[in-house]
Amino acid sequence: MKHLFGYWMWGIWTIALALGVSGCEKEEGGASSGTTAKLKLIPSAEVVQVGDEVSFVVYDGESDVTASAQVVNVDSEEVLNGTFVPQQVGCSRFVARLGERESATVVISATGTFDPAAMSDPFYKRVLVQKFTATWCGFCPQMTAALAQLDEEEPGRLVHMSVHVNDGFAISAGEQLSNDYQIFSIPQALFDYADLEATYLIANLRRTMSGALERRADCGIAIESNVVKNTIQIDARLRFAVEGAYRVCCAVVEDNIYYAEGTSVDGSYQHVLRSFATARTGDDLGQRKAGEEYPCHFEIPVGSSWMTSNCRVLVYLLKIDTASQSLLVDNVASCAAVEGLCDFAYEASDATQGGE
């Protein structure tokens, strides 16, 4: 059934739209707050197109120290000689260094373009299914089995997230998401933030899945992910074939978590939601043009109990459905957290990569 919380979510989305969020995540930098807070790196622009020139000015308090400071690319440790000209779509991070002092990190987002009219096939549509569950839930294994059957029938189409409530795997964002959609009993499955199924009957789930697949994907998603210094670093590129106001969501889930005291048939739990890098309803991307390729960078600290080799990254794009005024998932992609890669996929190709 259609969820009843669409108008509330529209209000949240409208408020967030007024606040605005940039494409690449801004980071706090510097070794400490005291003296390093006075060293500032100021770019001529933070969002540019590929090939545009970006210059930097460095201030120590009110003094211009550009001539004596170094501007360093954080990822390559290369010292910038003059201006920066991005050669490809993506996010680049820079700091200013003066002696032993370092500024906060500045992120430059380089956008690009593509020709939607030249696409021979539309973007491959994947469906996000969020299973609301708990380790103590007696009927949840039946929902798990039914969704696994859907996977067999439509390989590569479903991307899973298990949202645990009121158990040891539950996180606050997951509990809030269950409140958003008025989840008063489990198991339930939410497809693309649009359709909520309270039954694990395969015929009902199949019908809901088919309805989700009928909604065309207006966006494509490519992801690269790795774990660096106990942090999952995620770089996503987003392509928009249709102009509109979009939001982006990023999360990490973990597979093969063993808990013998639960109701799982084999004691293991899959796709367990561990953390969001964004708001659970996504971060605002503003109005994006058709033919635009837009980069995003996300970071998720690794939890002490996580096994990163079992973790997967999910990135999904949301937009407002004009008919229902509800926030819906347009498309979703997934890859391994460690050395993960998911490229753009199109309907004519065998696009199982990036699904689950």
Instruction: Tell whether the model's pLDDT for residue 278 goes beyond 90.
Output: yes
The pLDDT of residue 296 is above 80: yes
Query: Of 301, 328, 304, 306, nearest to 317 (Cα)?
Result: 328
Domains and CATH numbers, the chain: 35-111 (2.60.40.1930), 114-356 (2.60.40.10)
Q: Given this model, what pLDDT does residue 24 score?
A: 64
Q: What whole-number distance in Å separates Cα of residue 299 and Cα of residue 87?
A: 23
- Tell me the pLDDT band of 97, cut-offs 50, 70 and 90: very high
Q: Which amino acid is at 97?
A: R
Q: What is the pLDDT of residues 253-263, one digit of tens each?
A: 999 999 999 99
Output the pLDDT for position 19.
37
Q: For the chain, what is the largest distance between any 2 Cα atoms, rounded to a whole number of angstroms?
A: 69
SS3 336: strand
pLDDT at 169 over 70: yes
pLDDT in tens, 125-159: 999 999 999 999 999 999 999 999 999 999 999 99
Cβ pair 300, 227 in contact under 8 A: no
Structure confidence by residue, pLDDT tens digits, 42-91: 999 999 999 999 999 999 999 999 999 999 999 889 999 889 999 999 99
| pLDDT, mean of residues 292-299 | 95
Instruction: Name the residue with tokens 């000209």.
Output: 85
What DSSP line would sit under 111-125, residue for residue?
Answer: EEE--GGG-SSPBPP
The structure tokens listed for 26 are 């801004």
Among candidates 142, 101, 300, 124, which has minimal Cα distance to 219?
124
Q: Give the separation between CA 75 and CA 229, rounded to whole angstroms.
A: 13
Query: How many percent of the chain have pLDDT more than 90?
Result: 81
pLDDT tops 50 at residue 5? no
pLDDT band at 348 (very low <50, low <70, confident <90, very high): confident
8 Å CB contact between 281 and 249:
yes
**CA–CA dist 3, 194 (Å, integer):** 6
State the pLDDT at residue 37: 53
pLDDT tens per residue across span 312-344: 999 999 998 777 778 999 999 999 999 999 999
Residue 111 has pLDDT above 60, yes or no: yes
Contact 337, 312 (CB under 8 A): yes
Q: Contact 324/253 with Cβ under 8 angstroms?
A: no
232 — phi, psi (to 5°)? -80, 115
Q: Which residues pair with 228 in a beta bridge?
A: 231
Least confident window among 14-23, 260-269, 270-279: 14-23
Looking at residue 341, the DSSP 8-state letter turns out to be E
308: CB partners within 8 A, 6+ apart = 227, 232, 302, 337, 338
Chain centroid offset of residue 177 CA: 16
- Do the Cβ atoms of 169 and 186 come closer than 8 Å? no
For residue 22, the model assigns a pLDDT of 45
Rounded mean pLDDT, 278-297:
95
